[in-house]
Amino acid sequence: MAKISEYDRFGEEGLSKEEYAKRQDYVLKSCKCAGCPTFVKGDNPAGAYCFPLIGTSEAIRREKDCICETCPIYEEYELTHTFYCTRCSQLCQTYKMELGGGHE
């Protein structure tokens, strides 16, 4: 089984509580979800679904399109998945793939 640090694109492992909150805030500020056709206004959390521990959306029920690939966070942290709002965070989706037998 791979270590979390190998998949931890946001480098959150080892961050202090304060640093973690700061990084989460940074991701939320750059997040493009509010302009996405899938997004539901008033959702809580209001984006940054790619970030670990933010959680999936409580309001989004239907996947329409995902614009994560156009987001600066996506590029900066070299993310690889989409539909974080419904399918869970980058780390979580990577783990699911790994546990789902997608590795050699």
Q: Would you tell me which residues interact with ligand SF4 (CB under 6 A)? A: 27, 31-33, 36, 38-39, 47-50, 66-68, 71, 73-74, 79, 82-85
Q: 36 or 91, CB closer to ligand SF4? A: 36
Q: Which is nearer to ligand SF4, 23 or 32 (CB)?
A: 32
Report the distance separating Cα 72 and Cα 6, nearest Å. 21
Minimum gap (Å) between residue 104 Cβ and ligand SF4: 28
